[in-house]
Amino acid sequence: MAFFHNFNLLKFNDSYKSYQLEFDSLRKNNKNTIVIRQLKFIDIIQLEDNEDEWESIKKSIINDITKFELIFKKIHFQKKKKVELKILNNILKFLTYAYLLSEDIRYFNEFLWFSSRNSYRMDKYFKANIYCFYKNIDSDYFYNNNFKVPNNILHNKKKGNSSKYYKNQKVCLIGYPHFFKQSYKNLISKGISVNVIYLPFHKNSILNFFLKSIIYKFYLIFTCNYIPYQKINFKIDSKTLGLALKKEKLYVGFQKLNFLIKDNIISSFSKGLINDHWGYLPLIRGKSTIEFSILFNLPIIVTNHLVEKSIDTGDIVAYYNCDLSRIKKLSTYKIRKHVRKTLSHRITSSIMTLLEKEREELIKNKIELGKTYYDMHPSLIKFINERSIKNYKQISLT
């Protein structure tokens, strides 16, 4: 496993500016350049020190950086793998060019992960990245962006004739039972038929061991008044699991799982499976959504949406505002804790909303308006907690 260092982003040297001047000039001189070559991940990592090749890449970035999304994704999944020094150099070089020419913070975030490996950094590119970061930080320590959240987004709970749905359709809470204690009781009290299905798997090996152990079983007894649940212990991507779920004839579901959900699970819910996403869709997909929301000075809004094969792209069931007024000394940790505490309300509310609405009535998730974000580097999180969050105020949405 690679060793990651934290960088002190609170210190800034204006002399770093000189390293970005060449990129500013390149952007201005090549705005209308059309580059036909279609690059792949393998092309980036195998590039030699050929300036003509790198110039072509720079022009491609200026022309349309969205064409590099797949390469960006593949680079992200290399961050904890051992790579040769030459490949590491090329990755750092590409991330630098992509960030300085697009000012997309995601490339800077990935640059921090890679440049911190084994105490290695390319000094020239590191300083250029830092300068570009500060160039986009305003006086309140928020990152410049063009994102906009409509004030009326919480007006999404159209009521329907619920009585014809509740009695005949089966709702499923799928994941780790301790998340469902209160929401299970809430749904049962409304006369809804509820299944709790437990899939004992977690990406973290220690938590995975805990979930499969008798310790977790006793934990449920003492903390959840022993919620009735069905344990299905098949491989998470197997056809057998899909068949077992389809036998239950599930209508609507809400998931609390810690792995990428495949079609064998998604297709088992005839109307849809809901995900609890801690960011405003369609703008902020993926991970570290609370941190990126604060950095962009966006309201922290939880989006409950239908699960699809691709990440955070399904139709939107409901939005939920986060009341942060009672949190003393805001921090990303405290905000996460608060959002987690209000989960039961969202589970009950979004399931009721999906039962009441037709699929066609859900809010369309316009994915072209947003981007997919990955785990934020600790240095950026520290910057947010020590700078940005002091000026952050949750926008009031009606």
Phi, psi of 207 (to 5 degrees): -65, -35
Q: Can you give the pLDDT at residue 226?
A: 72
Three-state secondary structure call for residue 284: strand
- What is d(CA 331, CA 337) in angstroms, rounded to the nearest whole number? 10
- What is d(CA 315, CA 303) in angstroms, rounded to the nearest whole number? 10
DSSP annotation string for 308-376: -SSTT-SPEEEEEE---TT-SS--HHHHHHHHHHTHHHHHHHHHHHHHHS-GGGSBP--GGG-EEE-PP
Q: Where are the domains of the chain?
A: 14-135, 163-391
- What is d(CA 360, CA 344) in angstroms, rounded to the nearest whole number? 26
Element holding 273 (H helix, E strand): strand 269-277
Classify domain 163-391 by CATH architecture: 3-Layer(aba) Sandwich (3.40)
- What is d(CA 339, CA 218) in angstroms, rounded to the nearest whole number? 26
Instruction: Pull the structure tokens for residue 198.
Output: 């437990």
Nearest to 186 by CA among 354, 346, 341: 346
Nearest to 98 by CA among 124, 132, 121, 122: 132
Q: CB 64: neighbour CB atoms within 10 A?
A: 10
Q: Can you give the pLDDT at residue 3?
A: 33
Q: What angle do CA 269, 322, 178 make, to 5 degrees?
A: 50
Q: Can you give the pLDDT at residue 1?
A: 32
Q: Can you give the pLDDT at residue 350?
A: 96
Q: How would you classify the pairing of strands 269-277 and 301-306?
A: antiparallel
Q: Can you give the pLDDT at residue 277?
A: 98
> What separation in angstroms does the CA of 321 have from each of 220, 334, 338, 341, 395?
30, 16, 12, 13, 9
**How confident is the prediction along the chain (398 residues), in pLDDT tens digits per residue?**
333 345 555 555 555 566 566 666 656 665 555 444 566 766 676 677 777 778 888 888 888 888 889 889 999 988 888 888 888 888 998 999 999 989 999 999 999 998 876 445 567 788 888 888 988 999 999 999 878 777 666 655 555 444 455 667 899 999 999 999 999 999 999 889 999 999 999 888 898 898 888 898 888 888 777 789 999 999 999 999 999 999 999 999 999 999 999 999 999 999 999 999 999 999 999 999 999 999 999 999 999 999 999 999 999 999 999 988 888 889 999 999 999 999 999 999 999 999 999 888 999 999 999 999 999 999 999 999 999 999 998 765 55
* Cβ-contact 162, 352 below 8 angstroms: yes
* Cβ-contact 23, 125 below 8 angstroms: no
- What is d(CA 273, CA 255) in angstroms, rounded to the nearest whole number? 7
- What is d(CA 92, CA 378) in angstroms, rounded to the nearest whole number? 18
Three-state secondary structure call for residue 143: strand
Three state DSSP letters for 195-263 = EEEECCCCCCHHHHHHHHCHHHHHHHHHHCCCCCCEECCCCCCCHHHHHHHHCCCEEEEEEECCCCCCH
